[in-house]
Homo-oligomer: A and B are copies of this chain.
Amino acid sequence: MSRSSEAINQLIHILDERGWSATTVDDLAKEAGISRATFFRVYGSKEDLVFADHEEMIERLEAFLERTDHDIASAMREGLALVFRYHLEDEGRTLARHRLLKQSTQLRNRELLTSHTYERIFRHWLRRRLGPGLAAEPVAVSLSGAAVALHNAFLRKWLAEPSPGVLSEFTAEAKKLIHVVLSGYELEGKLRSSAGVKGPHAVVALVGESADTEEICEAVRSALNHSRGE
């Protein structure tokens, strides 16, 4: 898994350097040390290669939404943050892909398609979580559409001018949007957590007064790893 994803990153880099249309599948296969036929078996297509890692992200998001105990608004916001953080995670890969996308409308279009996958995931999850009710369907549809659009707008902003503050700006805007839509449709009642009777852990992390969210999370992570013996 990790080896193949490195191979993918390398191939994307090659496509970025030599140009999307100037690089043939033969070139890529030769570069990867496999035959042309094997290339198609492994990666599906030249296009799929560039977005192979999105599959993983989609699984992560679905797993998160499936298992979360958060209330609807928090889970939605955190799901969106999860996706956003994924793009910031490997800046080299994301920027290389972005340069690549500028070369070909075909690739840009493919990129846009991934939005619909995220939108669909949120929509279906919202439908389930909102349950039956008059406003559930339009809220599921509109909120997922709006939230993914917001995500894309902030991602575009970050691609144009990478800065670490974008994530928290995005999270704040997403929070506002979710609140506006849910309360506007009078679904505040659904905002409560659906968490069951599971007993809570107590976790104490000590951090400096000026710590930001990520620093605190890091402290929590290390405290957990310590106490759990990982």
**Least CB separation from A223: chain B residue:** B74
Secondary structure class of chain A's binding surface, majority of residues? helix
Among B81, B123, B177, B196, contact of A221 (Cβ-Cβ < 8 Å): B81
Q: Say whether A62 faces chain B, with CB atoms less than 8 Å apart.
A: no
- Asked whether A213 and B208 contact (CB < 8 A) given A172-B229, A177-B142, A180-B188, the answer is no
Indicate if A9 sits at the interface (CB-CB under 8 A): no
Shortest Cβ gap from A225 to chain B (Å): 6
Please give, as numbers and ranges, the residues of chain B lying within 8 Å of A215 by CB-CB distance. 64, 67-68
Which of B113, B138, B200 interacts with A207 by CB under 8 Å? Answer: B200
Contacts of A10 in B (CB 8 A): none
**Cβ 8 A contact of A180, one of B145, B175, B180, B226:** B180
Report A174-211 CB contacts with B as 1/0, cut-off 8 Å. Answer: 01110111011100100000011011110101111111
Q: A58 in the interface, Cβ–Cβ < 8 Å?
A: no
Counting contact residues on chain A (CB < 8 A from B), the size range is: 35 or more
Interface centre among A110, A112, A143, A149 (most CB of B within 10 A): A149
A218 lies within 8 A of B78 (CB): yes
Minimum C-beta distance from A64 to chain B (A): 7
In the bound complex, how far is the Cα of B203 from the Cα of A116, in angstroms?
Answer: 35
Indicate the member of A74, A141, A199 with the most B CB atoms within 10 Å. Answer: A141
* Interface residue? A16 (CB, 8 A): no
- B109 touching A113, Cβ below 8 Å: yes
Inter-subunit contact B141/A149 (CB<8 Å): yes
Point out the residues of chain B lying under 8 angstroms from A217, CB to CB: 217, 220-221
Q: Which of B68, B69, B123, B184 contacts A184 (CB 8 A)?
A: B184
Whether B225 contacts A175 by the Cβ 8 Å rule is yes
Q: Is the Cβ of A213 less than 8 Å from the Cβ of B225? A: yes
Are B146 and A70 in contact, CB atoms less than 8 angstroms apart?
Answer: no
Binding site for B on A (CB under 8 A): 64, 67-70, 74, 77-78, 81-82, 109-110, 112-113, 115-116, 119, 123, 137-138, 141-150, 153, 168, 171-173, 175-177, 179-181, 183-185, 188, 195-196, 198-201, 203, 205-211, 213, 215-222, 224-226, 228-230
Which 7 residue pairs across A and B have the least CB separation, nearest first? A145-B149, A180-B184, A146-B146, A142-B146, A198-B208, A141-B153, A145-B145
